[in-house]
Amino acid sequence: MTKTPEQIELAKLQARLTKRFHKACADYGLIADGDHILIGLSGGKDSLALVELLGRRAQIYKPRFRVTALHVRVKERNYQSDLSYLESFCAEANVPLLVRDVEIGVPKDLKDHKGHKDLKETNPCFLCSWYRRKTLFNVAQELGCNKIAFGHHRDDVLETMLMNLLFQGTFATMPPILPLDKMPLAIIRPLCLIDEADLMRFAQLRNYRKQTQLCPFEHVSSRAQVKGLLAQMKQLNPEASDSMFAALTNIKTAYLPPQ
């Protein structure tokens, strides 16, 4: 049977994504025999692709590892995914799915020293992320997982680098693997060598279902502005992403001594 142009494109794209996924896992030692990996499944294209790639990889004999997906729903955030779709998607990928509901409060250790500021209003993205990660860490320890996988792609890595340069005065970004100090867990990012454009096209060709309600802060955050900045850099130089990613492994001695 003759394949359609879309089927041919999907096959080539899937091969490219799989190759870069395997390269990241091999180059950075992301997966080892006996691992139990918890996937942070938001319901967006990146985490769906991560479930698909890790689920497929777990079917290979070596290394032998287990995968579980966790979808965290935050009560106060007006965005959500179709839970029935996530359940069927994970079942098709042979990945067990757990769902946890959380409610945002403001713990004492997250309030400022004066105690006036309501972080629910002043920093909603930080609080949402903090509660989601806390839930992931707790569930990972409950299940005996030793790793948590996030769907951060190469553009996320570069955007974080730019944000640190612009707002923190540091040259740093999210690493492919990050062992945690306070608990026996490591964060891994198996999609770190994959471009967002490829994931977007893959999601279209695979007919990934979009979230039913998107985050209301998605286009007004600092990260959204930096995403636009990265897009401008790519227009200036189509190889900008390659150059900046290479710079992360080619850091020279500081030009100026620390002040």
DSSP string, 171-233: -----SEEE-SSSS-EEE-TTTTS-HHHHHHHHHHTTPPPPSB--TTTTTSHHHHHHHHHHHH
**Taking the domains of the chain in order of start, what are their residue ranges?**
5-247
pLDDT truncated to tens, each residue of the chain (259 aa)? 788 999 999 999 999 999 999 999 999 999 999 999 999 999 999 999 999 999 999 999 889 999 999 999 887 666 678 899 999 999 999 999 999 998 876 555 555 444 434 544 445 666 777 888 999 999 999 999 999 999 999 999 999 999 999 999 888 899 999 999 989 999 999 999 999 999 999 999 999 998 765 555 555 578 888 999 999 999 999 999 999 999 988 776 556 666 5
Tokens of 6: 């879309």
Alpha carbon 4 to its chain's center: 31
Whether the CB-CB separation of 230 and 159 falls below 8 Å is answered with yes
Q: Which residue has the tokens 């359940």?
A: 87
CATH T-level assignment (fold) for domain 5-247 = Rossmann fold (3.40.50)
Burial of 126 (0-12, 13-18, 19+ CB in 10 A): exposed
Which pair of tokens denotes residue 127?
């609080």
pTM score of the predicted model = 0.87
Q: State the Cα–Cα distance between residues 239 and 41, nearest whole angstrom.
A: 30
Q: How many C-beta neighbours within 10 Å does residue 60 have?
A: 10
